[in-house]
Chain A
């Protein structure tokens, strides 16, 4: 037969069931999950998400091709019109930092669709009946998606350099811009996870996400300077977090005042995360 050592259920007694089992980390008396165990769980779950990508390489298409297509389109379609014919390289320096912000938004949207899909599978029930923090399932997903976002950003910057992007500041400034978009991207992912857990179908998530995305993306300083916009729109873009992020990344790369836009971006990220992350985790806990 097997080599299992069977543990006795301590039903009716106060003894701890599971004693003598193979689990090395003794749970605390109230069963709370310690930080180290939590990190280990997130690691194991992130590995799952990464293996899924390995199994289904097509799921990387968006992260690989979206930056290539977008930067080519924007630089060659709008570049001449905005910066003057033959001045495409000026527009590259304008639009690439903006596209970094947009990349995060688009990847984040995918998270919502993915989590909605994932939830229809029995494996989520298994996770929720296991002695792990329920937030770890969501955090693991975010960790892997941030990885995807970094790949997309790397490809975007590579393309940017090919098209004439130049860093006027320093590599550290560039890294700061990337870091800022990662922080903001993570906060966006919480929004879309919340949407993904709240709406019925993946299509609904997609539709809802587009409704939110389009005005935020185009009503921003990502693609064109806001100075020619009507007053009301300029006001909107000034408070649009995507504008803040685009301005911050742009000034970090091209030089210029960064304090205001960086703080605004960090503030937005913090507020969004503080509001949506607890809602998403609670939604995940209660989802039937």
Chain B
């Protein structure tokens, strides 16, 4: 089923500008998305991510610059373009009063399927997104995850070549987030080109092959996810010993290993914790083994990917403009 990716670009954006009064929501954005790949657009609130998606889906007309999607110009050929795209927004774009089935059936009819085909396609998508049991219930009674799945199903009814996912997991709990990710991965494996906007480094890492980092309407970094990760560093291990007085001793022990990364362990006395940069899985094992063998009592241990703040800090040397973003995606275990 996997469609081989080609070198052709499904999306090409050049110098895209969109102002709202004084605010430059997009201030000259360039980006390419190769056919059959996922581009993650990472940035804080207000970076211009949603404006970009709205320009590319014909909801907004850009002030300057050009953008083509599947070969169609977003300004000059909006009608043709709308036949090739699917959009799943931050807020589920389904009719809450209608059942899951009625939503999908309506979209099938709007896409000119015959009644029978629209019915068949709706059932097929309900099945595919595990919504068959909830098919007859109004969407307003769906859980957050079910709504997103219905939204994805709605976007897929027309078999779009290009799919925009605008912060598809914002506001979802981790388990539901994983469900949505699985669905997106499946769609990508079928060859859909995806432009994904997100505030989470982890989400970008999970789904995207390439990454564009935006801030205040400008692209501030662009490249393969692995390249950018190398640039911003990998995971960080946070260790809180039972006895905070032993923190310096722990840091010294790690420094002695001379391992790249691990040796950079830093003590944060306020938190009573030690932060250890981890570059490989082997290093993680080595650190935990070392601390155990030296008999340090550990109260809490966990790793986290760089947060958006840390990514921005690494790229620009500045904090994000979207202030309240300090959430890290951590997998923590209390010891």
Identify the A interface with B (CB < 8 A): 1-18, 21-25, 27, 30-33, 37, 40-41, 43-45, 47-48, 51-52, 55-56, 121-132, 288
Contact of A37 among B84, B87, B112, B186 (CB under 8 A): B112
Task: Give Cα A55–Cα B82 distance, bound, in whole angstroms.
Answer: 30
Chain B residues contacting A121 (CB-CB under 8 Å) are 91, 93, 95-96
Chain B residues contacting A33 (CB-CB under 8 Å) are 79
- Tell me if A128 and B59 are in contact (CB < 8 A): yes
Contacts A22-B159, A122-B89, A122-B93 given; does A129 touch B102 at CB 8 Å: no
Task: Give Cα A270–Cα B273 distance, bound, in whole angstroms.
Answer: 75
- Tell me if B138 and A55 are in contact (CB < 8 A): yes
Contact of B80 among A6, A27, A122, A132 (CB under 8 A): A27
Task: Give Cα A52–Cα B117 distance, bound, in whole angstroms.
Answer: 23
One digit per residue, 1 when the CB lies within 8 angstroms of any chain A CB and 0 when it does not, for chain B 31-47 equals: 00001000000000000
In the complex, whether B300 has a CB less than 8 A from a CB of chain A is no
- Tell me if B59 and A125 are in contact (CB < 8 A): yes
Chain A residues contacting B78 (CB-CB under 8 Å) are 31
- Tell me if A126 and B59 are in contact (CB < 8 A): no
In the complex, whether B77 has a CB less than 8 A from a CB of chain A is yes
- Tell me if B94 and A129 are in contact (CB < 8 A): no
- Tell me if B82 and A4 are in contact (CB < 8 A): no
- Tell me if A24 and B114 are in contact (CB < 8 A): yes
- Tell me if A2 and B97 are in contact (CB < 8 A): no
- Tell me if B159 and A10 are in contact (CB < 8 A): no
- Tell me if A122 and B92 are in contact (CB < 8 A): yes
Q: How large is the interface on B (under 10, 10 to 19, 20 to 34, 35 or more residues)?
A: 35 or more
Identify the B interface with A (CB < 8 A): 1, 3, 8-12, 35, 54, 57-60, 68-72, 77-80, 82-85, 87, 89-98, 102, 106-107, 109-114, 117, 121, 124, 128, 138, 154, 156, 158-159, 161-162, 186, 190-193
Among A22, A41, A128, the one with the most B-chain Cβ atoms within 10 Å of its Cβ is A22
- Tell me if B35 and A131 are in contact (CB < 8 A): no
Task: Give Cα A130–Cα B79 distance, bound, in whole angstroms.
Answer: 8
- Tell me if B58 and A129 are in contact (CB < 8 A): yes
The A contact surface, by secondary structure, is loop
Q: Other than the known A17-B83, A131-B82, what 14 A-B pairs have Cβ atoms closer than 8 Å? A: A1-B190, A5-B159, A6-B190, A9-B10, A11-B161, A14-B71, A24-B112, A24-B114, A47-B106, A51-B102, A122-B91, A123-B94, A124-B93, A126-B154
Contact of B71 among A3, A7, A11, A124 (CB under 8 A): A11
Contacts A40-B112, A44-B110 given; does A10 touch B71 at CB 8 Å: yes
Q: How far is the CB of B79 from chain A (nearest CB, A)?
A: 3
Contacts A17-B83, A122-B93, A130-B82 given; does A23 touch B111 at CB 8 Å: yes
Q: How far is the CB of B335 from chain A (nearest CB, A)?
A: 41
- Tell me if B79 and A31 are in contact (CB < 8 A): yes
- Tell me if A18 and B107 are in contact (CB < 8 A): no
Chain A residues contacting B72 (CB-CB under 8 Å) are 17
- Tell me if B159 and A21 are in contact (CB < 8 A): yes
Contacts A37-B112, A44-B110 given; does A12 touch B84 at CB 8 Å: no
Q: Which 3 pairs of residues, A with B, have the shortest CB-CB distance?
A: A31-B79, A122-B93, A9-B161
Among A17, A18, A55, the one with the most B-chain Cβ atoms within 10 Å of its Cβ is A17
Chain B residues contacting A16 (CB-CB under 8 Å) are 80
Chain A residues contacting B9 (CB-CB under 8 Å) are 11-12
